[in-house]
Protein backbone atom coordinates (compact mmCIF):
# COMPACT_ATOMS: atom_id res chain seq x y z
CA UNK A 1 0.00 0.00 0.00
CA UNK A 2 1.44 3.37 -1.02
CA UNK A 3 1.57 6.14 1.54
CA UNK A 4 0.86 9.76 0.68
CA UNK A 5 1.34 12.82 2.83
CA UNK A 6 -0.77 15.82 1.85
CA UNK A 7 -0.07 19.17 3.48
CA UNK A 8 -3.02 21.54 3.53
CA UNK A 9 -5.28 18.57 2.98
CA UNK A 10 -8.29 20.37 4.38
CA UNK A 11 -8.29 22.84 1.53
CA UNK A 12 -10.14 22.28 -1.71
CA UNK A 13 -7.39 20.48 -3.62
CA UNK A 14 -6.13 18.55 -0.61
CA UNK A 15 -9.60 17.22 0.07
CA UNK A 16 -10.22 16.10 -3.51
CA UNK A 17 -6.77 14.57 -3.77
CA UNK A 18 -7.29 12.72 -0.47
CA UNK A 19 -10.47 11.27 -1.90
CA UNK A 20 -8.78 10.28 -5.16
CA UNK A 21 -5.82 8.59 -3.44
CA UNK A 22 -8.08 6.73 -1.01
CA UNK A 23 -10.02 5.40 -4.01
CA UNK A 24 -6.72 4.16 -5.43
CA UNK A 25 -5.93 2.29 -2.21
CA UNK A 26 -3.39 4.71 -0.74
CA UNK A 27 -2.90 5.25 2.93
CA UNK A 28 -3.47 9.00 3.18
CA UNK A 29 -1.95 11.24 5.83
CA UNK A 30 -3.21 14.78 6.08
CA UNK A 31 -0.95 17.42 7.55
CA UNK A 32 -2.40 20.63 8.82
CA UNK A 33 -1.90 23.10 11.63
CA UNK A 34 -5.57 23.99 11.83
CA UNK A 35 -6.60 21.97 14.87
CA UNK A 36 -10.12 20.69 14.38
CA UNK A 37 -11.32 23.43 12.12
CA UNK A 38 -11.74 23.08 8.39
CA UNK A 39 -12.69 19.42 8.38
CA UNK A 40 -15.99 20.19 6.64
CA UNK A 41 -14.61 19.37 3.20
CA UNK A 42 -13.44 15.89 4.24
CA UNK A 43 -16.77 15.43 5.97
CA UNK A 44 -18.73 16.40 2.86
CA UNK A 45 -16.72 13.96 0.80
CA UNK A 46 -17.38 11.27 3.39
CA UNK A 47 -13.69 10.58 4.00
CA UNK A 48 -13.09 12.29 7.35
CA UNK A 49 -12.54 9.03 9.22
CA UNK A 50 -10.29 7.54 6.52
CA UNK A 51 -7.66 10.30 6.36
CA UNK A 52 -5.05 10.10 9.10
CA UNK A 53 -4.77 13.64 10.35
CA UNK A 54 -1.40 14.79 11.66
CA UNK A 55 -0.18 18.14 12.92
CA UNK A 56 2.31 20.08 10.85
CA UNK A 57 3.47 23.66 10.84
CA UNK A 58 5.39 24.38 7.67
CA UNK A 59 7.21 27.18 9.53
CA UNK A 60 8.98 24.60 11.71
CA UNK A 61 11.64 22.43 10.07
CA UNK A 62 11.81 19.99 12.98
CA UNK A 63 8.06 19.36 12.68
CA UNK A 64 8.45 18.41 9.05
CA UNK A 65 11.46 16.15 9.61
CA UNK A 66 9.75 14.36 12.50
CA UNK A 67 6.64 13.82 10.44
CA UNK A 68 8.57 12.40 7.48
CA UNK A 69 10.39 10.02 9.80
CA UNK A 70 7.15 8.91 11.37
CA UNK A 71 5.01 8.53 8.25
CA UNK A 72 7.69 7.57 5.70
CA UNK A 73 5.55 8.66 2.75
CA UNK A 74 6.14 7.57 -0.85
CA UNK A 75 4.50 10.70 -2.21
CA UNK A 76 4.27 14.17 -0.71
CA UNK A 77 1.83 16.77 -2.01
CA UNK A 78 2.34 20.30 -0.79
CA UNK A 79 -0.82 22.39 -0.73
CA UNK A 80 0.00 24.19 2.50
CA UNK A 81 -0.07 27.88 1.65
CA UNK A 82 -1.36 31.32 2.39
CA UNK A 83 -3.46 31.16 -0.74
CA UNK A 84 -5.26 34.48 -0.87
CA UNK A 85 -3.84 36.96 -3.34
CA UNK A 86 -5.51 39.96 -1.74
CA UNK A 87 -4.39 39.05 1.77
CA UNK A 88 -0.82 38.73 0.54
CA UNK A 89 -0.71 42.51 0.08
CA UNK A 90 -1.59 42.86 3.76
CA UNK A 91 0.69 40.05 5.01
CA UNK A 92 3.55 39.90 2.48
CA UNK A 93 6.15 38.59 4.93
CA UNK A 94 4.03 35.86 6.45
CA UNK A 95 3.03 34.89 2.91
CA UNK A 96 6.72 34.53 1.99
CA UNK A 97 7.50 32.57 5.16
CA UNK A 98 4.79 30.03 4.43
CA UNK A 99 4.73 29.91 0.64
CA UNK A 100 8.39 30.44 -0.21
CA UNK A 101 10.65 29.50 2.70
CA UNK A 102 8.10 26.91 3.81
CA UNK A 103 8.68 24.98 0.60
CA UNK A 104 12.44 25.14 1.13
CA UNK A 105 11.90 23.60 4.55
CA UNK A 106 9.83 20.83 2.98
CA UNK A 107 12.49 20.15 0.37
CA UNK A 108 15.32 20.21 2.90
CA UNK A 109 13.45 17.76 5.09
CA UNK A 110 12.81 15.47 2.12
CA UNK A 111 16.44 15.65 1.02
CA UNK A 112 17.64 14.72 4.51
CA UNK A 113 15.00 12.25 5.64
CA UNK A 114 13.14 10.83 2.67
CA UNK A 115 15.00 11.55 -0.59
CA UNK A 116 13.25 8.76 -2.51
CA UNK A 117 9.82 10.29 -1.90
CA UNK A 118 8.14 12.01 -4.82
CA UNK A 119 7.16 15.64 -4.28
CA UNK A 120 4.45 17.81 -5.76
CA UNK A 121 4.50 21.59 -5.42
CA UNK A 122 1.35 23.60 -6.08
CA UNK A 123 2.53 26.34 -8.42
CA UNK A 124 0.05 28.80 -9.84
CA UNK A 125 -0.93 30.88 -12.84
CA UNK A 126 -0.20 33.89 -10.64
CA UNK A 127 3.47 33.29 -11.55
CA UNK A 128 2.72 34.79 -14.96
CA UNK A 129 0.78 37.72 -13.64
CA UNK A 130 0.97 39.67 -16.86
CA UNK A 131 -1.80 40.81 -19.12
CA UNK A 132 -2.34 40.20 -22.82
CA UNK A 133 -4.43 37.71 -24.70
CA UNK A 134 -1.93 34.94 -25.44
CA UNK A 135 -2.17 31.64 -23.61
CA UNK A 136 0.62 30.92 -21.14
CA UNK A 137 2.62 27.74 -21.47
CA UNK A 138 5.62 26.22 -19.65
CA UNK A 139 8.05 28.46 -21.54
CA UNK A 140 6.32 31.81 -20.95
CA UNK A 141 8.31 34.26 -18.81
CA UNK A 142 7.06 34.83 -15.27
CA UNK A 143 6.10 38.27 -13.96
CA UNK A 144 4.04 37.92 -10.77
CA UNK A 145 1.92 40.86 -9.65
CA UNK A 146 1.33 40.20 -5.97
CA UNK A 147 3.36 39.12 -2.92
CA UNK A 148 1.48 35.84 -3.29
CA UNK A 149 2.68 35.40 -6.87
CA UNK A 150 6.24 36.35 -5.94
CA UNK A 151 6.29 33.88 -3.03
CA UNK A 152 5.03 31.13 -5.30
CA UNK A 153 7.67 32.00 -7.86
CA UNK A 154 10.39 31.34 -5.30
CA UNK A 155 8.68 28.07 -4.35
CA UNK A 156 8.52 27.07 -8.00
CA UNK A 157 12.20 27.66 -8.64
CA UNK A 158 13.42 26.12 -5.40
CA UNK A 159 11.50 22.98 -6.33
CA UNK A 160 13.11 22.94 -9.79
CA UNK A 161 16.45 23.60 -8.14
CA UNK A 162 16.19 20.65 -5.75
CA UNK A 163 15.24 18.46 -8.69
CA UNK A 164 18.29 19.60 -10.66
CA UNK A 165 20.75 19.85 -7.79
CA UNK A 166 19.85 16.75 -5.77
CA UNK A 167 17.88 14.63 -8.22
CA UNK A 168 14.68 14.74 -6.17
CA UNK A 169 11.56 13.60 -8.00
CA UNK A 170 9.94 17.01 -7.56
CA UNK A 171 7.28 18.39 -9.90
CA UNK A 172 5.28 21.61 -10.09
CA UNK A 173 1.75 21.96 -11.39
CA UNK A 174 1.19 25.48 -12.66
CA UNK A 175 -2.50 25.49 -11.95
CA UNK A 176 -4.82 28.06 -13.40
CA UNK A 177 -7.87 28.89 -11.28
CA UNK A 178 -9.75 25.76 -10.36
CA UNK A 179 -13.03 25.89 -8.55
CA UNK A 180 -15.65 23.59 -7.07
CA UNK A 181 -18.31 23.44 -4.37
CA UNK A 182 -15.38 23.00 -1.96
CA UNK A 183 -13.77 26.32 -2.91
CA UNK A 184 -13.32 28.75 -0.02
CA UNK A 185 -15.84 31.58 0.15
CA UNK A 186 -13.06 34.20 -0.09
CA UNK A 187 -12.58 33.43 -3.78
CA UNK A 188 -14.83 35.31 -6.16
CA UNK A 189 -16.46 32.21 -7.67
CA UNK A 190 -17.69 30.63 -4.47
CA UNK A 191 -18.53 34.01 -3.02
CA UNK A 192 -20.87 34.55 -5.96
CA UNK A 193 -22.40 31.06 -6.03
CA UNK A 194 -23.10 31.22 -2.29
CA UNK A 195 -24.64 34.66 -2.69
CA UNK A 196 -26.80 33.57 -5.63
CA UNK A 197 -28.11 30.62 -3.61
CA UNK A 198 -28.73 32.73 -0.51
CA UNK A 199 -30.45 35.50 -2.48
CA UNK A 200 -32.66 32.91 -4.14
CA UNK A 201 -33.68 31.62 -0.70
CA UNK A 202 -34.30 35.13 0.61
CA UNK A 203 -31.38 34.99 3.05
CA UNK A 204 -29.34 37.78 1.48
CA UNK A 205 -30.08 40.99 -0.39
CA UNK A 206 -27.25 41.39 -2.83
CA UNK A 207 -23.53 40.71 -3.25
CA UNK A 208 -20.64 43.19 -3.45
CA UNK A 209 -17.70 42.32 -5.67
CA UNK A 210 -14.63 44.06 -7.07
CA UNK A 211 -13.31 44.11 -10.62
CA UNK A 212 -16.03 42.64 -12.84
CA UNK A 213 -13.82 42.81 -15.92
CA UNK A 214 -11.09 40.49 -14.57
CA UNK A 215 -10.81 37.34 -16.69
CA UNK A 216 -9.83 33.94 -15.42
CA UNK A 217 -9.36 30.47 -16.84
CA UNK A 218 -11.66 28.58 -14.47
CA UNK A 219 -11.55 24.77 -14.40
CA UNK A 220 -13.06 22.13 -12.13
CA UNK A 221 -10.75 21.30 -9.21
CA UNK A 222 -11.85 17.66 -9.02
CA UNK A 223 -10.38 17.08 -12.48
CA UNK A 224 -7.16 18.93 -11.68
CA UNK A 225 -6.15 16.63 -8.82
CA UNK A 226 -6.18 13.70 -11.24
CA UNK A 227 -3.47 15.46 -13.27
CA UNK A 228 -1.51 16.15 -10.10
CA UNK A 229 -1.49 12.47 -9.21
CA UNK A 230 -0.43 11.55 -12.75
CA UNK A 231 2.54 13.92 -12.50
CA UNK A 232 3.97 11.91 -9.64
CA UNK A 233 3.49 8.62 -11.53
CA UNK A 234 5.80 9.77 -14.36
CA UNK A 235 9.26 8.20 -14.45
CA UNK A 236 10.76 11.70 -14.63
CA UNK A 237 9.68 14.72 -12.62
CA UNK A 238 8.63 17.77 -14.63
CA UNK A 239 6.44 20.89 -14.54
CA UNK A 240 3.06 21.20 -16.20
CA UNK A 241 0.44 23.84 -16.87
CA UNK A 242 -3.07 22.79 -15.90
CA UNK A 243 -5.75 24.95 -17.50
CA UNK A 244 -8.84 24.83 -19.69
CA UNK A 245 -7.55 27.29 -22.32
CA UNK A 246 -10.71 29.39 -22.04
CA UNK A 247 -11.30 32.52 -20.04
CA UNK A 248 -14.38 34.32 -18.74
CA UNK A 249 -14.94 37.55 -16.88
CA UNK A 250 -16.15 37.83 -13.30
CA UNK A 251 -19.19 39.50 -14.87
CA UNK A 252 -19.87 36.38 -16.95
CA UNK A 253 -19.38 34.19 -13.91
CA UNK A 254 -21.96 36.22 -11.97
CA UNK A 255 -24.45 36.10 -14.85
CA UNK A 256 -24.05 32.32 -15.14
CA UNK A 257 -24.39 31.82 -11.39
CA UNK A 258 -27.53 33.93 -11.08
CA UNK A 259 -28.95 32.22 -14.13
CA UNK A 260 -28.37 28.83 -12.48
CA UNK A 261 -30.29 30.17 -9.46
CA UNK A 262 -33.19 31.21 -11.68
CA UNK A 263 -32.48 34.94 -12.25
CA UNK A 264 -31.70 36.82 -15.42
CA UNK A 265 -29.06 39.47 -14.73
CA UNK A 266 -28.82 42.68 -16.70
CA UNK A 267 -25.84 45.01 -16.36
CA UNK A 268 -26.37 48.73 -15.88
CA UNK A 269 -23.86 51.55 -15.39
CA UNK A 270 -20.07 51.50 -15.55
CA UNK A 271 -17.03 51.20 -13.29
CA UNK A 272 -17.83 51.46 -9.60
CA UNK A 273 -21.42 52.35 -10.48
CA UNK A 274 -22.01 49.15 -12.46
CA UNK A 275 -24.81 46.99 -11.15
CA UNK A 276 -26.23 43.56 -11.90
CA UNK A 277 -29.98 43.92 -11.94
CA UNK A 278 -32.72 41.28 -11.93
CA UNK A 279 -34.26 41.75 -15.39
CA UNK A 280 -37.71 40.78 -14.14
CA UNK A 281 -38.03 42.95 -11.04
CA UNK A 282 -35.37 45.61 -11.48
CA UNK A 283 -33.89 44.66 -8.09
CA UNK A 284 -30.13 45.17 -7.69
CA UNK A 285 -28.40 41.85 -7.02
CA UNK A 286 -24.74 42.67 -7.72
CA UNK A 287 -22.90 45.85 -6.75
CA UNK A 288 -19.30 46.88 -7.17
CA UNK A 289 -17.28 47.88 -4.14
CA UNK A 290 -13.81 49.39 -4.05
CA UNK A 291 -13.00 47.22 -1.04
CA UNK A 292 -12.59 44.18 -3.28
CA UNK A 293 -10.19 45.77 -5.74
CA UNK A 294 -6.47 44.94 -5.47
CA UNK A 295 -3.42 47.22 -5.43
CA UNK A 296 -2.17 45.45 -8.57
CA UNK A 297 -4.54 43.39 -10.62
CA UNK A 298 -4.03 40.46 -12.96
CA UNK A 299 -6.54 41.30 -15.68
CA UNK A 300 -6.39 38.11 -17.64
CA UNK A 301 -5.09 34.61 -17.13
CA UNK A 302 -5.48 31.84 -19.65
CA UNK A 303 -3.35 28.73 -19.93
CA UNK A 304 -2.27 26.23 -22.55
CA UNK A 305 -2.26 22.70 -21.14
CA UNK A 306 -0.96 21.01 -24.32
CA UNK A 307 1.99 19.45 -22.48
CA UNK A 308 -0.24 17.92 -19.79
CA UNK A 309 -2.49 16.62 -22.55
CA UNK A 310 0.41 15.04 -24.45
CA UNK A 311 2.44 13.66 -21.54
CA UNK A 312 -0.15 12.98 -18.85
CA UNK A 313 -3.10 12.23 -21.14
CA UNK A 314 -5.07 14.84 -19.21
CA UNK A 315 -7.85 17.04 -20.57
CA UNK A 316 -10.33 19.05 -18.53
CA UNK A 317 -13.89 18.05 -19.38
CA UNK A 318 -16.35 20.16 -17.37
CA UNK A 319 -17.45 23.29 -19.22
CA UNK A 320 -17.61 26.73 -17.62
CA UNK A 321 -21.44 26.90 -17.44
CA UNK A 322 -21.67 23.38 -16.00
CA UNK A 323 -19.04 24.19 -13.39
CA UNK A 324 -20.89 27.33 -12.31
CA UNK A 325 -24.19 25.43 -12.22
CA UNK A 326 -22.84 22.58 -10.12
CA UNK A 327 -21.41 25.07 -7.63
CA UNK A 328 -24.72 26.92 -7.32
CA UNK A 329 -26.61 23.66 -7.02
CA UNK A 330 -24.34 22.48 -4.19
CA UNK A 331 -24.80 25.78 -2.35
CA UNK A 332 -28.58 25.58 -2.74
CA UNK A 333 -28.55 22.03 -1.42
CA UNK A 334 -26.48 23.02 1.62
CA UNK A 335 -29.04 25.68 2.48
CA UNK A 336 -31.82 23.12 2.28
CA UNK A 337 -30.02 20.77 4.65
CA UNK A 338 -29.33 23.50 7.23
Give residues 234-253 in contact with ligand GDP (rule: CB under 6 A). Answer: 250
Phi-psi region of 238 (alpha: psi -120 to 50; beta: other; left: phi over 0): beta
Per CB under 6 A, 287 contacts ligand GDP: no
Indicate if 224 belongs to the active site.
Answer: no
- Decide if 318 contacts 220 (C-beta within 8 A): yes
Interface pick for ligand GDP out of 66, 74, 274, 297 (rule CB under 6 A): 297
| Residues contacting residue 107 through CB under 8 Å, at least 6 positions apart | 119, 158, 159, 162, 168, 170
Q: Which residues contact 201 (CB under 8 A, 6 or more apart)?
A: 332, 335
187 near ligand GDP, judged by CB under 6 A: yes
Single out the segment in contact with ligand GDP by CB under 6 A; choices: 129-137, 205-213, 226-234, 237-245: 205-213
Q: CB-wise, 44 or 252, nearer to ligand GDP?
A: 252
Count residues binding ligand GDP (CB under 6 A).
17
Q: Which is nearer to ligand GDP, 164 or 186 (CB)?
A: 186
Cβ atoms of residues 32 and 56 within 8 Å: yes
105 or 248, CB closer to ligand GDP?
248
- The catalytically annotated residue of 120, 148, 220, 224 is 148
How far is 157 from 162, CA to CA, in rounded Å? 9
Query: CB of residue 187 vs ligand GDP: minimum separation in angstroms?
Result: 4
Region binding ligand GDP by CB under 6 A among candidate stretches 49-57, 71-79, 151-159, 289-297:
289-297
294 is an interface residue for ligand GDP by CB under 6 A: yes
Catalytic hit among 29, 77, 120, 126: 126
CB-based burial of residue 108 (10 Å sphere; 0-12 exposed, 13-18 middle, 19+ buried)? middle
x/- letters, 78..97, toward ligand GDP (CB under 6 A)? -------x------------
Which of the ranges 19-27, 56-64, 103-111, 294-302 carries the binding residues for ligand GDP, by CB under 6 A? 294-302
Exposure string of 293-316, with b = 16+ CB inside 10 Å and e = fewer, is eeeebbebbbbbbebbbeebebeb
Residues 314, 173: Cα–Cα separation, whole Å: 13
User: Exactly one of 106, 117, 172, 214 binds ligand GDP (CB under 6 A); which one?
Assistant: 214
Q: Does 191 bind ligand GDP (CB under 6 A)?
A: yes
Is residue 124 annotated as part of the catalytic site, yes or no?
yes
Q: Is 8 left (phi over 0), alpha (psi -120 to 50) or beta?
A: left
Give the three-class secondary structure for 76. strand
Cα–Cα nearest to 211, from 188, 191, 180: 188
Active site residues: 124, 126, 148
List contacts with ligand GDP (CB under 6 A). Answer: 85, 177, 186-189, 191, 209-211, 214, 216, 250, 292, 294, 297-298
Amino acid sequence: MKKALITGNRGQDGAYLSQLLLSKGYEVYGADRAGDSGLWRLRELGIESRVKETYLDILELTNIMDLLEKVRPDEIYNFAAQSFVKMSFEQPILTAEINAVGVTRMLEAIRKVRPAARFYQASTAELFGSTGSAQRNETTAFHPKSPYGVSKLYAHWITVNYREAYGLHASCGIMFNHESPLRGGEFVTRKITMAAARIKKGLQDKVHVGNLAARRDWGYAREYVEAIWRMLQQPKADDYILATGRSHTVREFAAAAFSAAGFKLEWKGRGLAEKGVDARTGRVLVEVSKEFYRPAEVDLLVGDAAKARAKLGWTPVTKFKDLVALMVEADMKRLEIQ
